[in-house]
Amino acid sequence: MSKVLIYAEIKAGKIKKSAFELASEGRKLADALGGDLGAALIGPGLESFAADLAKYGVDTVYCVEAPELETYNSEYFGQALAHLITETKPEIVLMSHTMQGKDLAPRTMQGKDLAPRTAAKLGVAAIADCISFRLEGSTLIGKRPMYAGKCFAEWSATGAPQIATARPNVLETAEVPKSGAVSKVSFSVDTDRSTYVTKELNLDASGKVDLTEAEIIVSGGRGMGGPDYTLIEEMAAIFGPRATVGASRAAVDAGWRKHSDQVGQTGKTVTPNLYIACGISGSIQHLAGMGSSKVIVAVNKDPEAPIFTKADYGIVGDLFKVIPEFNKELKAILAE
């Protein structure tokens, strides 16, 4: 049986990049423990994703199938994952700290989601929002930010299995091909325990990369002065499909952007390779959502704006003069 099990999340018929990040991290942990790495796919007809997971070190792909699992329902998926964990008895279970895996914010949805719900069914705790992992013997140690990113703490789990969620875009991927053998798991859902019913899924059909998985994010704040985000949308387009546009809470509250674009403590926590903040002062709530970005660039006309304390590179100036020049130079550089 697998020493480490990951949950591979599927969204809109595609496997999420975070699943490969978990697989790569799980491979390292499984090797250190001297065991195998398993991956859980929940829902009918998902065995075609086994080959993708095998590239990143998965020995066995467990496909848990039932008609009720075609559409995501945290109670049903929690039952299925808890059943698989009980059957396979992994020492460590890793999941992504996405909207599906983590506690959901009250502004978004009510209740707990897959990681805490599964942990509760098994009578154990879950370490949430980790940015790295290490082992002390067979004990998993997860490092996670605390107090809106002001410090970091290391957490360990005392129960078995040890369950943790990892923040997307912080774990490195590495191809370590394994067999990825498919094992189908039959499961009967207890529909009497459902606390809600999924009536309809309204997924983003724009085709743009999700904020939590974007390599580059260009965000606009109150300094944009209104809902016209053409300048930073142009910048994201120049970077290509790996980039997307975000917004501060001030911009969202003003109605300039959708809540799904919001970065910050009450929006999405992101960890891109490059975060460009345009006209964002940098409140502590915003910094909590993007402070772990690998490189931060800030453009703001106020030299005392808090965002500059976090930025690796800062430009003091009018963004409506700076960004057009930035875009022109960016096009020239990328054209070379």
Domains of the chain, start order: 2-193 (3.40.50.620), 211-335 (3.40.50.1220)
pTM of the prediction?
A: 0.85
Residue 108 has pLDDT above 60, yes or no: no
234 CB-contact burial (10 Å; exposed 0-12 / middle 13-18 / buried 19+)? middle
**What is the bridge-based pairing of β-strands 295-300 and 274-278?**
parallel
Residue 148 has pLDDT above 80, yes or no: no
Going by pLDDT thresholds of 50, 70 and 90, the confidence category of residue 202 is confident
* 3-state class (DSSP) for residue 2: strand
**What percent of the chain shows pLDDT beyond 70?**
94
The pLDDT, as a whole number, for residue 101 is 58
The pLDDT, as a whole number, for residue 8 is 96
Going by pLDDT thresholds of 50, 70 and 90, the confidence category of residue 204 is low
40 CB-contact burial (10 Å; exposed 0-12 / middle 13-18 / buried 19+)? buried
Residue 264 has pLDDT above 50, yes or no: yes
The pLDDT, as a whole number, for residue 106 is 37
Give the tens place of pLDDT for each residue, 266-307.
889 899 999 999 999 999 999 989 988 999 999 999 999 999
